[in-house]
Amino acid sequence: MKMKLEIARVPGEIRRLCIIAEETTPRWSRVLFAASLLTMWLVGQDRSNALGPFIAPYLILTWVLAGGTGLYIAVTVYKGYLARRAASR
């Protein structure tokens, strides 16, 4: 029974984290993160090898960009989550 209660809380927690992310992170960071993920997917779908020998450095650059913005968003959301939790106590 306890497991069902924990699973039932998951959508609410995800919704709360999304609200915190929208309130605490600037829009450019979310757009940059989404764009870097989309870029990695598109480069992976490149069957014609249009990028040629530049595909490896390009992928490394997008991985670094996605990792950096993802880390920035995660830290900012975590700080916002902790601030809300402290304010509610």
58/49 Cα distance (integer angstroms): 13
Q: What is the mean pLDDT of the chain?
A: 87
Q: Is the pLDDT of residue 44 over 90?
A: no
Residue with the bigger pLDDT between 65 and 6: it is 65
Quote the pLDDT of residue 1: 60
Q: Which helix (H) or strand (E) segment is 55 a member of?
A: helix 55-88
Q: Read off the pLDDT of each residue in 25-35 and give the average, rounded to a whole number.
A: 94
pLDDT tens by residue, 67-76: 999 999 999 9
Question: According to the model, what pLDDT value does residue 73 have?
Answer: 95
* pTM attached to this predicted model: 0.77
Of 66, 78, 70, give the one whose Cα is nearest residue 16: 78
